[in-house]
Amino acid sequence: MIYSCTSRALRCLTVLVLLGTVDFLHAQRLRPGQTLTSRSRQFVVSSLVDAPFVPAANRVKAIPDRVRLHPSGLAQFAESVRGQWVKRFNITSRWQGQIHLQIVPGNLGDPARFGRIPNATGSWDYRASLPQLMPGRELTELIVDLLFTEFAGRYSSTDPALPVWITPGTTELILQSKGPILFTPFAPQAVGGLNFTHPQDPLYTSREFIQKSKPISYLNLTLPPPPSKGTEDPVYRAHAHLLVHKLLGLSKGPERIQFFLRELPKHQNSARAFGVAFGHKSMLKIEQWWSMAQVQFRSRDAFHRWRPEVILAHLSDCLQIETELPPDSPQAKPKTQRTPLQTYLRTDPTPQERALKLAPVLQRLAFLQVNSPPETARLIQDYRETLGAYLGLRSSKIHRAIRTKPTAQAALRNRAIAKLNLLDTILADMNSDKPKTRAKFATP
């Protein structure tokens, strides 16, 4: 009896496995006229390629250079990209236009073609022909472009003119956070070996391109880039990624981007719609906001701390104290000059005066240390400890005893000056390692 039950269970399990295998193979190969619908039912996949799916023999890259499309994998991939798109832009409305994806015979590098046609409900459906082999980034960008076009097309009787930067910027936003996971349907044999850590920095790849290149104005991001440096240019894509990231980080950023897409058909160009959606009264205001956004990004690292060269510049400025010079005549106004801390300490100021002058310096040093990376935080801490010891912040009793002894006061002052001289030498060595560069706007 036990043997009979075991055999029956094995037979049932075998049948289930075979049925699952048949469904999986059916999803990979569709007969003419058959379609496969995604989970949200927005994507309908068909195929003109009647050949078995052959997975890649080698382990694929994080963002594969080539993807061999098959119906089930394409449906899963498109649905995953849509899920990220809906989440990032907080899309709560249901789709109105269905997107039909058809796999056609083709080689790597063949262009994908898509357009829209009216449907029975009075809205628009979209059809795209995808070659069997496509680069992973290009495939992602196509799905993102279709999603944006469908969303903006709900409010336009003609094809919406999307801004050039929004599709590559959003593509990089998705790929640099979830890229390797999205492509697992096309490489099922590599799923078990996939090792992907969610990056703490959402711009970890774009950051390097931005830091090493000149800023790009909003006008140059919006205008169609030259053929030699199109949206495939990694520098252009990195700046587009930064723009989308900054917009999403604004107060009600996703809702404003949705409003921006709805405003596109009402204006002659996307810059005017951008100004209306984000509260900029002119193109100059847009450029000023975008310029400040780039400056802020370039001055910070992945943990939102100032970069070492920025910290060192602020530190050098902090170590100068503004003092008054005696006027040239009784009627003249007193002049001011900035002097190093050591020069100021040699004037032997009164306890009240030095507390008044050095307290703001200590406060600024504390602020710099909080925003400093590890390689400069220790130096700032040493400056704080040196000034704190001079002001008697460590032990008020010892400091009161020193005040009564002029020789002890002089020794404390000389010790602070010697320590500051040593720290200034270290600071000068660190500054000499940082090249001085000036960023200018450039056409991508």
- What pLDDT digit, counting tens, does each position of 112-167 carry? 888 888 887 777 899 999 999 999 999 999 999 999 999 998 877 777 889 999 99
Q: What is the pLDDT of residue 444?
A: 39
112: number of Cβ within 10 Å: 18
**Exposed, middle or buried by CB within 10 Å (0-12, 13-18, 19+), for 190?**
middle
DSSP 306: B
Residue 3 included in any domain? no
Q: Does 262 share its domain with 374?
A: no
Q: Does 269 share its domain with 240?
A: yes
Angle among Cα 412, 418, 424 to the nearest 5 degrees reads 135
Mapped to the 3 state alphabet, what secondary structure does 194-251 carry? CCCCCCCCCCCCHHHHHHCCCCCCHHHHHCCCCHHHCCCCHHHHHHHHHHHHHHHCCC
Q: Does 289 share its domain with 367?
A: no
Of 14-18, 66-70, 158-162, 333-337, the poorest mean pLDDT is in: 14-18
Q: Does 267 share its domain with 360?
A: no
Q: Does 40 share its domain with 83?
A: yes
Residue with tokens 């009600």: 252
Q: Does 238 share its domain with 371?
A: no
- Residue 299, helix vs strand vs coil: coil
Of the two residues 338 and 277, the one the predictor is more confident about is: 277
Quick one: angle between helices 283-298 and 270-278, nearest 10? 70
Q: What is the pLDDT of residue 117?
A: 85
Per-residue pLDDT for 350 more than 90? Answer: no
Q: If pLDDT is split at 50, 70 and 90, which confidence band does 184 have?
A: confident
Residue 149 included in any domain? yes
Rounded CA separation 341/300 (Å): 28
Looking at this protein, which amino acid is placed at residue 428? A
Residue 289 included in any domain? yes
Residue 440 included in any domain? no
Residue 4 included in any domain? no
- Express each pLDDT in 363-400 by its tens digit: 999 888 888 888 888 899 999 989 888 887 655 555 56
Per-residue pLDDT for 237 more than 90? Answer: yes
Rounded CA separation 36/56 (Å): 23
Mean pLDDT of 3-9: 49
DSSP 190: G
Q: What is the pLDDT of residue 266?
A: 87
Q: What is the pLDDT of residue 41?
A: 93
Rounded CA separation 13/9 (Å): 6
Q: Does 228 share its domain with 342?
A: no
Q: What percent of the chain has pLDDT over 90?
A: 35
Q: Does 240 share its domain with 180?
A: yes
- Express each pLDDT in 398-439 by its tens digit: 556 566 677 777 888 888 889 999 998 988 888 876 555 444
Rounded CA separation 45/158 (Å): 25
- Residue 278, helix vs strand vs coil: helix
Whether the CB-CB separation of 112 and 128 falls below 8 Å is answered with yes
Q: What is the pLDDT of residue 396?
A: 58
Rounded CA separation 167/434 (Å): 36
Structural domain that includes position 120: 28-189+200-298
Residue 2 included in any domain? no
Mean pLDDT of 298-317: 82
Q: If pLDDT is split at 50, 70 and 90, which confidence band does 228 have?
A: very low
CA dihedral angle for residue 240, residue 245, residue 251, residue 255, rounded to 10 degrees: 70
Number of domains composing the chain: 2
Residue 20 included in any domain? no
H helices of 51-192, in order, are 71-88, 136-153, 166-182
Rounded CA separation 205/207 (Å): 5
The DSSP H or E segment spanning 421 is: helix 406-432
Looking at residue 56, which CATH number applies to its domain? 1.10.390
Residue 54 included in any domain? yes
Q: If pLDDT is split at 50, 70 and 90, which confidence band does 285 have?
A: very high
Rounded CA separation 152/232 (Å): 23
Q: What is the chain's alpha carbon radius of gyration, rounded to the nearest angstrom?
A: 32
Which of 91, 194, 186 has the alpha carbon at shortest distance from 144?
Answer: 91
Whether the CB-CB separation of 209 and 238 falls below 8 Å is answered with yes
Q: Does 39 share its domain with 182?
A: yes
Rounded CA separation 89/254 (Å): 5
Whether the CB-CB separation of 168 and 199 falls below 8 Å is answered with no
Q: What is the pLDDT of residue 215?
A: 92
Per-residue pLDDT for 195 more than 60? Answer: no
Q: Does 129 share its domain with 220?
A: yes
Out of 245, 279, 298, pick the residue that ends a domain: 298
Q: Does 241 share its domain with 351?
A: no
Residue with tokens 């044999």: 189
Q: Does 159 share its domain with 57?
A: yes
Whether the CB-CB separation of 194 and 179 falls below 8 Å is answered with no
- In sequence order, the 6+-apart residues with CB closer than 8 A to the CB of 77 are 139, 143, 182, 183, 185, 186
Per-residue pLDDT for 300 more than 90? Answer: no
Whether the CB-CB separation of 193 and 418 falls below 8 Å is answered with no
Angle among Cα 344, 345, 350 to the nearest 5 degrees reads 100
